[in-house]
Amino acid sequence: MSDTAAPSRARRNVAVLVAAQAILGAQMPILFVIGGLAGQMIAPSPLLATMAISLIVFGSMTTAPWLSALMQRHGRRAGFVLGTAAGAAGAATAGYGLWIASFPLFLVGSYLSGIYMSAQGFYRFAAADTATAEFRARAISYVMAGGLVSALIGPQLVRATSEAMVVPFVGSYVAAAALNLVGVFLFAFLDLPKPREPAEGEARGRTRRELLRDPRIAVAIICAAVSYALMNLMMTSTPLAVVGCGFGGELLPDRDLSGMSRDSLRDLFVGHSSNVVSAHVIAMFAPSFITGTLINRFGVTRIMGLGLALLALAGVVALSGVELTQFFIALVFLGFGWNFGFIGATTLLASSHADSERGRVQGMNDFIVFGCVTVASLASGALMNSGDSVVAGWHAVNLAMIPFLTLAGGALIWLMLKPEAEPDVTADRPPPAFRG
């Protein structure tokens, strides 16, 4: 491949992946926004209201290792098509479970949707496969920017479809299934090579234990896991907190969401809670147009540090009060923090391993990241119900962020103080023998 052909090929793949992130990715805001409130309608206990969201993330966690290995062996397209098929099946199953008020079936569909979520998570790594070292950070961030379009499409589809059928939100699950059936054709335009199998006697890369001993990989995984888990922890609780606090922050201690009619619950949902989550999701992806450029200019560790600082600021704002404005500001900071922390960590990881290690390290990374996100989503519902009021639960959610931000911040500072203080993510892949 000529030097001029490589950037053209990379840009074509990035364009396809941006479109996939925008169209197929719109199902994730749909599922995450309605998951807790739809679950509230049929869950046997309020403590299980966010279980569907937890199952989506758990599905992504358990899928990542074998899906990454499949793509290492058969190519990215095979994994992406499989993920899209699972997304369609999952949304259809969850919608049917909601229709017949079967909570177990609703959860099965959510788990299948997690397989799609896992496949979507690899879009960012696929963007780096054919990118030059200098273009790598921007390729990753451009693909993540496609999420801005999905952040606009998803909530609007919810507004248009939440009342389309007799049972609220079933129409939204039908819309999510349809997105998969339309978007799967995008992958025919991908031009990604299958990874070359190492010849007999050729090095096959480091083991998982050796990979985790690489400081760059270890810190990238820690920061990605903390950024994503804390974002999910706070975002999952937000619709319940906004509704429970009466939109403008006036505490309604006697409000029992489980006893509300479906029509009343729907009316509450499509109001302020939808707008707050929409603002958050836009904040998650809007900075992506410049995140890669910022990484190349200021260094990946500084941008990751900025992300962690913004996550902390989101918690501070959330703890300062429960007015609607504070919900908006906190969730916007949360989105910005996730963007810089997660894209920075992804860029660091993508520049810290050889091609032969790709399937191993990327699958391990997403298993750990989404494992932490699963725990966070499970903890979200428990923390929201841990106090004697909605406000007490919301404060518990935000206070729980402190130890994990401390861990990630400490790990990042440790990396920055090493002799290789600022990894050069615009350089070729580092030698596999890198050790701390």
Q: What is the mean pLDDT of each run of 10 residues along the chain (436 residues)?
A: 59 94 91 82 79 87 92 91 96 94 94 95 89 88 89 84 86 94 91 72 76 93 96 85 64 48 52 76 89 93 96 95 89 96 93 84 91 84 82 92 96 86 57 43
CB 221 within 8 A of CB 365: yes
CB 39 within 8 A of CB 206: no
Enclosing domain of residue 376 = 5-185+208-416
Helix (H, G, I), strand (E, B) or coil at 39: helix
Q: Is residue 219 part of a domain?
A: yes
Count Cβ atoms below 10 Å from residue 320 Cβ, excluding itself. Answer: 12
> What pTM, to 2 d.p., does this model score?
0.80
Q: Is residue 323 part of a domain?
A: yes
Q: Is residue 24 part of a domain?
A: yes
* pLDDT confidence of residue 303: 96
Helix then strand then coil, % of the chain, to nearest 5: 75, 0, 25
Q: Is residue 65 part of a domain?
A: yes
Q: How many whole angstroms separate alpha carbon 259 and alpha carbon 412?
A: 46
DSSP class per residue in 193-257: PPPPPPPTTS-----HHHHHTSHHHHHHHHHHHHHHHHHHHHHHHHHHHHHHTTTTS---TT--G
* pLDDT confidence of residue 2: 38
CB 145 within 8 A of CB 29: no
CATH number at residue 239: 1.20.1250.20
- Assigned token pair, 170: 């079933």
Count Cβ atoms below 10 Å from residue 200 Cβ, excluding itself. Answer: 5
Q: Is residue 423 part of a domain?
A: no
User: Residue 30 is which amino acid?
Assistant: I
CB 397 within 8 A of CB 383: yes
Q: Which residue has the tokens 């479906």?
A: 262
Q: Is 319 exposed, middle or buried (0-12, 13-18, 19+ CB in 10 A)?
A: middle
Q: How many whole angstroms separate alpha carbon 294 and alpha carbon 287?
A: 10
Looking at beta carbons, which pairs linking 416-421 to residues 24 or more positions away fall under 8 Å? 416/301, 416/305, 418/215, 420/215, 420/216, 421/301
Q: Is residue 404 part of a domain?
A: yes
Q: How many whole angstroms separate alpha carbon 132 and alpha carbon 79?
A: 23
> How many domains does the structure of the chain reveal?
1
Q: Is residue 101 part of a domain?
A: yes
Q: Is residue 376 part of a domain?
A: yes
* pLDDT confidence of residue 5: 47
